[in-house]
């Protein structure tokens, strides 16, 4: 039996490195190669009201909207990568990508070490132009909390996904129910990939812990009812809108069996995206693990 020691995490979060890029978080050193905004700045409701499906105008900062308005920068980047027909489609994809990144780091720390680091939005610097793991930098590793669903909900749901969901809804008109479905899908995808890594490496304790934490978090009031978890497989009750991207199909965990309004035979449908996997351009690097 492996006992998880109740000690603070190492200052470099080295335990995450074997899992690969999407689970890795730069911590303490080295510092970001250029000045970056914090996620607290990205969530700030300081840019005024805009209608749905309209790109948000910003006043350029020292490095354009990457610093002045990092959320708008990421949405534009995703929109360009996907050739999204509406800004709300790109905003949904961007939100799911960032949610997946945050869940992956927090859940991996919890399952591997039994501890959850302080990932406060004002401690995490974000490069909305980069892919994992070069998108997030933790300024310092502070005292960690024992890992349980309450701690993970505080660190990810309350601190990050509540303000992120509000910002994306207010600025791009994306339905909050859809965004919480994205958050649940991202969580399930992170749990599934962590489970697969752990079982490949004979870490059944880690796999069991990841599965239990994922299931517990999906019962949280903000995520309850967003879908059904069976083992590590998740079926959501909403759609992230990815099917609206030209040439795209539905995601593997989508509520729709095929793109709404499609008249093509099922065998000729566009290739589906894997469940819990943010589409290209969201924040996932080409080397990052994919879920199925």
3-state secondary structure of 22: helix
State the pLDDT at residue 249: 85
Closest CA to 282 of 224, 208, 274, 123: 274
Residue pair 278/22 in contact by the 8 Å Cβ criterion: no
3-state secondary structure of 122: coil
Residue 34 makes CB contacts below 8 A (sequence gap 6+) with 63, 127
> 53 — alpha (psi -120 to 50), left (phi > 0) or beta?
left
State the pLDDT at residue 59: 39
**Mean pLDDT in consecutive groups of 10 residues from the start of the chain, 292 residues:** 42 85 80 83 67 39 68 94 93 96 96 94 93 90 89 97 97 96 96 96 96 97 95 93 87 84 49 47 38 31
State the pLDDT at residue 138: 92
Q: Tell whether pTM > 0.85.
A: no
Q: What is the DSSP string of 152-186?
A: HIIIIIIIIIHHHHHHHHHHH---HHHHHHHHHHH
Residue pair 235/252 in contact by the 8 Å Cβ criterion: no
Residue pair 65/73 in contact by the 8 Å Cβ criterion: yes
CA distance 120 to 41: 12
Name 168's bridge partners.
none
State the pLDDT at residue 58: 37
CA distance 127 to 119: 16
Residue pair 138/106 in contact by the 8 Å Cβ criterion: no
Residue 136 makes CB contacts below 8 A (sequence gap 6+) with 25, 26, 101, 105, 124, 125, 126, 127
Residue pair 220/236 in contact by the 8 Å Cβ criterion: no
Helices (H) and strands (E) in the chain, counts: 8, 8
């Amino acid at each position: 039996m492996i006992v998880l020691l109740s000690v603070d995490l190492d200052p470099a979060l080295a335990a995450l490195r074997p899992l690969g890029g999407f689970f890795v978080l730069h911590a303490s050193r080295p510092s970001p190669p250029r000045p970056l905004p914090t996620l607290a700045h990205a969530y700030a409701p300081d840019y005024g009201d805009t209608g749905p499906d309209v790109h948000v105008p910003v006043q350029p900062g020292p490095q354009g909207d990457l610093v002045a308005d990092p959320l708008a920068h990421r949405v534009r980047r995703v929109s360009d990568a996907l050739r999204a027909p509406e800004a709300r489609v790109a905003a949904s994809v961007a939100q799911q990508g960032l949610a997946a990144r945050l869940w992956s780091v927090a859940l991996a720390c919890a399952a591997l070490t039994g501890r959850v680091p302080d990932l406060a939005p004002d401690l995490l610097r974000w490069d909305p132009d980069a892919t994992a793991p070069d998108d997030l930098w933790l300024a310092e590793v502070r005292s960690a909390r024992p890992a349980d669903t309450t701690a993970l909900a505080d660190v990810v749901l309350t601190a990050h996904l509540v303000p992120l969901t509000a910002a994306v809804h207010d600025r791009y008109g994306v339905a909050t129910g859809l965004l919480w479905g994205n958050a649940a899908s991202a969580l399930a995808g992170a749990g599934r990939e962590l489970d697969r890594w752990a079982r490949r490496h004979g870490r059944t304790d880690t796999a069991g812990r990841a599965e239990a934490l994922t299931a517990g978090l999906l019962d949280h009031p903000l995520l309850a009812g967003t879908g059904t978890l069976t083992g590590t497989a998740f079926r959501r009750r909403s759609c992230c809108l990815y099917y609206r991207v030209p040439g795209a199909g539905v995601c593997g965990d989508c509520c729709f069996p095929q793109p709404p309004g499609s008249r093509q035979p099922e065998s000729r449908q566009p290739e589906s995206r894997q469940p819990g996997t943010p589409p290209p351009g969201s924040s996932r690097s080409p080397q990052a693990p994919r879920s199925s």
